[in-house]
Structure formats: C-alpha cells, structure tokens
A = this chain, B = another copy of it.
Amino acid sequence: MEQKIILKESDIPRQWYNLSADLPTPLLPPLGPDGKPITPDMLAPVFPMNLIEQEVSTERWIDIPQEILGILYGWRPSPLKRAVYLEKHLKTPAHIYYKDESYSPPGSHKPNTAVAQAWYNKEFGIEKLTTETGAGQWGSALAFACKLLGLKCKVFMVRISYDQKPFRKIMMQVWDAECVPSPSNQTNAGRKVLQESPDTPGSLGIAISEAIEEAVTDKNGKTRYSLGSVLNHVLLHQTIIGLEAKKQLEIAGEKLPDIIIGCAGGGSNFAGLAFPFVLDKINGADIKIIPTEPEACPTMTRAPFAYDFGDTACTTPLLAMYTLGHAFVPPPIHAGGLRYHGMAPLVCQAIVEGLLEPRAYHQNKCYEAALTWAGTEGAICAPETSHAVATVIDEAVKAREEGKEKVILFNYSGHGLMDLTGYDAFLSGKLTDYSLPDEELEKFTADLKALPKAQTRKSGKW
C-alpha cells in the first residue's frame, strides 16, 4: 500500500462544488445599511461581476477554467497522505488521512482561491487587486497569484505584524506586491485613525476598510478588492481539496470517511475539504464533520447566530453568521488565521442545519499535538492547522478506546515554517491559554440586538 495517494493532473476535478445548491434551508441574504437585501449591482464597485455571480449562484457545479488549473498544477492535485507513523504512535485502529495543502509556494491552501480570484478579475478587465492581511498568509497568497497572472497587487498589512513579522512582507515583495502598513496615510480611513491614535498597532478591521477604499476610489475603475475567506465564492474555490480527496480515498480503497476535520477561522480551508462530503451527509451518509476553533475566539461554539458586519469599521454588508461581535478583539493567540470574529455564512448555515459539530481547543493542547505530529509524521504544521491535528488525535484515541477502525480525514492547511515563534513560546512554557469570559461575550455581542435579526427555519438560537 502507498502512504501517499497522488492523482495525475489529468484526474484533477474540473468543477467546483457549490453547497448553496444543496443546503436544506437557503442562506439568508446579505443586507445593506438599510436592512434590505443587497443586490449584485451594489457589490460591483468592490468585486468583478463574474465573481459576484459565483457569490450568489445556486448552481451545484461550476466549471474551473483551464488556465486556473494550469497554475494550480504547480502543486495540485495535492497528495492525500496517510499518517501511518502517527497511527502507530497512537496505537489506533483508525486510518488517518490528510490532504497536504502546504505544498503551494506560499505554503497553505490560500492560493486555491487567490489564483481563481486573480484570474476572474483579469478576465473582467481588472488590473489591480487590493486586500488586507494580518500575519501575512493571505496577503502573500494574493501577491503570488497576481504576479503569476500579471496583475498589480496592494496589500494593507496590520502595522504590528508589518513591524514584527517581516518575513511574509518580504515574500509579498518578492512577488512584486506593494505592501504598506495599516493604518496608512494613503486612504481617508487610514488617515482618520492615524490622526486619532498615531501609535495604533492597527487591526484587520481598519486594514479591510483601507483596502476597500483603495479599490472603490480608483477613478479608472480598474481596481477591485479581494477577500481570502468567509465569502461563498472563496469557499467554492477551495472545494477542489475535498473533491480531490474523494477520488483519492477511492483509490486507497476506502469508502466515505467516518470523521472529517478542519480548523476554521473564516472557514475556507475547512469548507474546502468538508463541503463535498456535507453533500453526502445531506444525502444520508453517517459522517461526523468537525470544524475546530480556538477557545480564545469561540465563534461557532459559543457565539450567537446573528446579522453582523464583516469588519470592525462596519463598512461591509451584514452577513448572517455566528459572530462574537464586530468589535470583538481576540487575544493574541499564535493562530492568527483563527482570530476572526465571524465565520463564513455557508459554514454557519450548515451548523444551524445540524450538519457540523464544531469544537474548540486551547492553544497549548494544539501545540502539544503539533509536536506529536512533528515527531511522528515529521512536518511542522501551522498554528492554525494544529487545531485540526489536536482534534484528529482525540478522535483517533477514541477510535482506539472503542476498538473501531474509523476512517479520519483532515485538512493539513499549511506549514508552520513562518510561524516558529509560537513553537518557541510553547517550548519555553510561555504560552497562555485564554477562555472568553461570559461577560465579555455578552458585552461584544450586545450591539447585535440593534441589527436585523437572523432567523432561519431551523435556527431559533437568537
């Protein structure tokens, strides 16, 4: 038996899977400032129309253009690997499989959508993309995609990360992107913040506002904004992961997995692996599907389901999602990609429907799992990915206790080579676990009551 199952390029999926087509209850629409559903036209200054069409599409299958596949071939189809050494170490009868998304040049799953978004924008005649980035994973993925497709790219990077984590910034520069610390004096939003607090460390919320402003104020109309998670079309582009995995599990001689696991910050890597299997679950298959998040930012496990803004500055449409409140400031845990106050509406709706079983972990437990992983399978995973690894280990141990030969599949969303300071903090015993106090949760979500209510057929949670 092979430890890795690798598809030929000619066996790559030719279509993305759109969960919107199959959700038992349709998604609640995004709302505008007036509380009314927004129309595709209203999004046109921000996104190109071909991506807006994907955003609102309820078609089940959407063709992947050949040029996008040509670039993805650089590292796709990604290998499906079996964690034989971890299985042995845990003495588990479970079969543990993972999609290795760390092989892309920027080191994570993010380029799957970055390449697609850059391609659709180019196709629409756009010449430049703007975005925001925290620690830099998304910014570097978009810089990479824009460079390969010949678009300009401008990344507003949260100032504290810009100053303290120079390596992702250098990556972006290698790929020719303009990377500026946010708040900057290049936008009204940025200047306003700098006037009020010149020494601010910045935030993702401010950086989003700057990136959107830069896009919509281009007088030639040749600039658009790009987002790395949360939105429907972003999750759509990631489903190539799960679709590949399905073919690979079949080659490995396995039926459908018993358990599927992914970490979830905005939801894109989790959804990319899980959604094609959620369809099987909707059709009756018995699969436990677990998105894992940090205890420090417990969106899916503790937050209300409500309409909320996607950014701190309240400039985006209102999205129906589990949310800790747009003003929520997550503690400085090392999994920067899991520090978002909301969650992709598609993931949230699937939770409302009872299709997913979210779970939360503390970061020390996750790093402990990451060390077990590095000591058995060899690779050093991203702090975000360590949340999935911790969940996998728990489930594999449970399978041992139950004496069941379960098939576990998870998304190895990225490597941790740019995030070694977190490991250093863990190894030197300096890592703190945070739990969100109930009062804090209440405080940050209090504002939501003034916004339109998000009631779906099954939710009734809020």
Q: How far is the CB of A395 from chain B (nearest CB, A)?
A: 22
A9 neighbours in B (Cβ, 8 Å): 2-4
Q: Is the CB of A147 within 8 A of B374?
A: yes
A71 neighbours in B (Cβ, 8 Å): 378
Q: Is the CB of A174 within 8 A of B417?
A: no
Please indicate which of the listed interface residues A74, A85, A107, A374 has the most CB atoms of chain B within 10 Å of its own CB.
A74
Tell me whether A434 is interfacial, beta carbon within 8 Å: no
Considering only CB atoms, which chain B residue lies closest to A82 in the complex? B73
Given known A174-B371, A174-B374, A427-B173, contact A107–B6 (CB-CB < 8 A): no
Tell me whether A377 is interfacial, beta carbon within 8 Å: yes
A10 neighbours in B (Cβ, 8 Å): 2
Bitwise, A156-178 to B at CB < 8 A (1) or not (0) is: 00000000001100110111100
Q: How far is the CB of A343 from chain B (nearest CB, A)?
A: 29
Q: How far is the CB of A366 from chain B (nearest CB, A)?
A: 14
A424 neighbours in B (Cβ, 8 Å): 166, 170, 173
A175, B372: Cα distance in complex, Å? 10
**Chain A residues bordering chain B, tally (CB within 8 A):** 42
CB neighbors of B among A50-86 (8 A): 70-71, 73-74, 81, 85
Tell me whether A40 is interfacial, beta carbon within 8 Å: no
Q: Is the CB of B176 within 8 A of A375?
A: yes
Tell me whether A418 is interfacial, beta carbon within 8 Å: yes
Considering only CB atoms, which chain B residue lies closest to A104 in the complex? B378
Tell me whether A420 is interfacial, beta carbon within 8 Å: yes
CB neighbors of B among A257-298 (8 A): none
Per a CB cutoff under 8 Å, which of B105, B147, B378 touches A74? B378
Q: How far is the CB of A344 from chain B (nearest CB, A)?
A: 26
Q: How far is the CB of A380 from chain B (nearest CB, A)?
A: 6
Tell me whether A379 is interfacial, beta carbon within 8 Å: yes
Given known A107-B417, A173-B427, A427-B174, contact A147–B375 (CB-CB < 8 A): yes
A418, B85: Cα distance in complex, Å? 26
A17, B80: Cα distance in complex, Å? 30
Q: Is the CB of A103 within 8 A of B105?
A: no
Per a CB cutoff under 8 Å, which of B103, B171, B371, B423 touches A103? B103
Tell me whether A97 is interfacial, beta carbon within 8 Å: no
A173 neighbours in B (Cβ, 8 Å): 423-424, 427
A374, B427: Cα distance in complex, Å? 34
A81, B371: Cα distance in complex, Å? 31
CB neighbors of B among A163-219 (8 A): 166-167, 170-171, 173-176
Given known A2-B8, A85-B148, contact A378–B420 (CB-CB < 8 A): no
A307 neighbours in B (Cβ, 8 Å): none
Tell me whether A119 is interfacial, beta carbon within 8 Å: no
A379 neighbours in B (Cβ, 8 Å): 74, 105
CB neighbors of B among A290-327 (8 A): none
A418 neighbours in B (Cβ, 8 Å): 417
Tell me whether A144 is interfacial, beta carbon within 8 Å: yes
A283, B377: Cα distance in complex, Å? 41
Q: Is the CB of B6 within 8 A of A74?
A: no
Given known A174-B423, A424-B166, contact A105–B378 (CB-CB < 8 A): yes
A2 neighbours in B (Cβ, 8 Å): 8-10, 73
A418, B419: Cα distance in complex, Å? 11
Given known A3-B74, A105-B379, contact A175–B420 (CB-CB < 8 A): no
Q: How far is the CB of A212 from chain B (nearest CB, A)?
A: 27
Q: Is the CB of A380 within 8 A of B74?
A: no
Considering only CB atoms, which chain B residue lies closest to A10 in the complex? B2
Per a CB cutoff under 8 Å, which of B148, B374, B417 touches A378? B148
The 9 A-B residue pairs with the shortest CB-CB distance, nearest first, are A170-B420, A105-B379, A105-B378, A2-B9, A3-B73, A170-B424, A167-B420, A174-B374, A417-B417
28 contacts between A and B (CB under 8 A): A2-B8, A3-B9, A3-B70, A3-B73, A4-B9, A4-B73, A6-B6, A74-B377, A105-B374, A105-B378, A105-B379, A105-B380, A107-B417, A147-B375, A148-B375, A148-B376, A148-B378, A166-B424, A167-B417, A167-B420, A170-B427, A171-B417, A171-B420, A174-B423, A174-B427, A175-B374, A175-B375, A417-B418
